[in-house]
């Protein structure tokens, strides 16, 4: 496996996936005990991989482990805690068939009341906001990415192993989402991390990709919210298509630096597409500016 420098070439979505390369691989999924993360765990186990489910919900984690044993293991962990996450990676290496971590999916995420949006009584003192959503979705993703790169570099570059980091975003990484600044910030930030790492990680044979679902029916959206969206005529992407996009990236070593958007079937027959919103088009002045930054940015770091 040799990862090529990132080039602007959209992924052609295949109608059939060849999952044979996933057999025996070690996959670590944060937020893997519920919703999309659980669906990824189930899909990778079905494809013959060993999965470490990293989640802070002990009941859901234990239940997922019981369903998927012996090919999955639950490790309780809060992704906001570096030491917890280090311990989870260590356990994944210890328990997996080839003592490795080949695919890391940074998926843990949350949404909720947002103190940045909720303004306080202007006559009273300013109230320090609770930044939990940014802590989980963005800081947790940064920790997960840093550890993925560390553990990937410990294992050989051969066909038995991979070095594949998939960062979980959302369409909220591309669209303005009024009322939820922290969710918006955290997903744009995760997308920034993906766009940054894709430019250098290939030197270590590390693939970095991004997966950005549209609305999907999972526990992160309450029944009330789902009813409201349905009432507005919003179509939903599916859990199965999210899982298939993950399998697609993990099983194809040529995919690097791309963002797949998971969309309603009404929008795309396979349920996901290469979003093609992370490279500047001809005629956009940012295209030249990006070229200049690519040619100079690392030298600036060395000069500093």
The catalytic position among 6, 168, 187, 215 is: 187
Identify which of residues 3 and 51 has a Cβ nearer to ligand NAD in the complex: 51
Q: How far is the CB of 94 from ligand NAD (least distance, A)?
A: 20
Mutual angle of helices 140-152 and 82-95, in 10-degree steps: 40
Taking CB under 6 A as the criterion, the residue among 25, 161, 163, 168 binding ligand NAD is 168
Q: How far is the CB of 24 from ligand NAD (least distance, A)?
A: 26
Instruction: Supply the DSSP symbol for 216.
Output: B
Q: Which two tokens stand for residue 224?
A: 């009330």
Residue whose C-alpha is closest to residue 166's, from 152, 155, 185, 154: 152
Identify which of residues 131 and 221 has a Cβ nearer to ligand NAD in the complex: 221
Q: What element of type H or E holds 247? A: helix 239-251
Per-residue x/- marks for ligand NAD, 171-210, CB under 6 A? ----------------------------------------
Identify which of residues 110 and 130 has a Cβ nearer to ligand NAD in the complex: 110
Distances (CA, A) of 189 to 60, 108, 158, 210, 217: 28, 14, 32, 12, 24
Mutual angle of helices 140-152 and 181-197, in 10-degree steps: 20
Q: How far is the CB of 35 from ligand NAD (least distance, A)?
A: 2
Instruction: Supply the DSSP symbol for 234.
Output: -
* Residues 32-91 contacting ligand NAD, CB under 6 A: 33-37, 55-57, 60, 77-80
Direct distance between the N- and C-terminal alpha carbons of the chain, in angstroms, rounded to an integer: 34
The catalytic position among 40, 143, 183, 215 is: 183
Q: Are 249 and 260 in contact (CB under 8 A)?
A: yes
Task: Give the separation between CA 39 and CA 49, rounded to whole angstroms.
Answer: 14
Taking CB under 6 A as the criterion, the residue among 52, 100, 144, 170 binding ligand NAD is 170
Binding segment for ligand NAD among 9-17, 144-152, 211-219, 246-254 (CB under 6 A)? 211-219
Task: Give the separation between CA 285 and CA 146, rounded to whole angstroms.
Answer: 32
Catalytic-residue membership of 183: yes
If phi over 0 gives left and psi between -120 and 50 gives alpha, with beta otherwise, what is residue 127?
beta
Q: Which two tokens stand for residue 240?
A: 């199965």
Identify which of residues 117 and 280 has a Cβ nearer to ligand NAD in the complex: 117
Identify which of residues 3 and 138 has a Cβ nearer to ligand NAD in the complex: 138
Taking CB under 6 A as the criterion, the residue among 63, 71, 110, 200 binding ligand NAD is 110
Kindly write down the DSSP assignment for every residue of 123-181, as one continuous string.
Answer: TS---PPP-HHHIIIIIHHHHHHHHHHHHHTTS--STT---EEEEE--GGGTS--TT-H
Taking CB under 6 A as the criterion, the residue among 75, 216, 243, 273 binding ligand NAD is 216
Q: What are φ and ψ of residue 298, in 5° steps?
A: -70, -30
Q: How many residues bind ligand NAD (CB under 6 A)?
A: 30
* Residues 219-278 contacting ligand NAD, CB under 6 A: 219-221
Identify which of residues 206 and 216 has a Cβ nearer to ligand NAD in the complex: 216
Taking CB under 6 A as the criterion, the residue among 213, 253, 261, 271 binding ligand NAD is 213
Identify which of residues 188 and 215 has a Cβ nearer to ligand NAD in the complex: 215
Catalytic residues: 183, 187
Task: Give the binding site for ligand NAD (CB under 6 A).
Answer: 30-31, 33-37, 55-57, 60, 77-80, 107-110, 136, 140, 168, 170, 213, 215-216, 218-221
């Amino acid at each position: 496996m040799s990862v090529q420098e990132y080039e602007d070439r959209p992924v052609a979505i295949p109608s059939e996936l060849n999952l044979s390369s996933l057999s025996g691989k070690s996959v670590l999924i944060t937020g893997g005990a519920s919703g999309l993360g659980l669906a990824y765990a189930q899909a990778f186990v079905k494809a013959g991989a060993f999965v470490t489910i990293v989640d802070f919900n002990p009941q859901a984690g234990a239940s997922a482990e019981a369903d998927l044993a012996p090919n999955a293991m639950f490790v309780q962990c809060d992704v906001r805690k570096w030491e917890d996450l280090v311990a989870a990676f260590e356990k994944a290496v210890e328990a997996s068939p080839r003592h490795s971590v080949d695919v890391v999916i940074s998926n843990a995420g949350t949404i909720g009341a947002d103190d940045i949006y909720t303004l306080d009584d202007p006559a009273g003192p300013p109230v320090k906001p609770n930044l939990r959503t940014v802590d989980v979705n963005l800081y947790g993703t940064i920790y997960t990415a840093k550890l993925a790169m560390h553990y990937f570099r410990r294992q050989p570059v051969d066909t038995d192993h991979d070095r594949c980091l998939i960062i979980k975003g959302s369409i909220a990484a591309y669209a303005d989402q009024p009322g939820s600044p922290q969710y918006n910030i955290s997903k744009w930030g995760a997308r920034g991390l993906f766009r940054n790492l894709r430019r250098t990680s290939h030197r270590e044979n590390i693939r970095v990709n991004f997966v950005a679902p549209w609305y999907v029916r999972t526990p992160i959206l309450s029944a009330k919210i789902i009813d409201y969206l349905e009432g507005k005529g919003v179509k939903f992407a599916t859990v199965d298509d999210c899982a298939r996009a993950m399998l697609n990236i993990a099983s194809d070593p040529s995919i690097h630096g791309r963002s797949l958007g998971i969309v309603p079937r009404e929008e795309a027959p396979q349920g996901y597409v290469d979003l093609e919103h992370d490279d500047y088009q001809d005629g956009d002045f940012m295209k030249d500016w990006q070229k200049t930054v690519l040619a100079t940015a690392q030298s600036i770091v060395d000069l500093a």
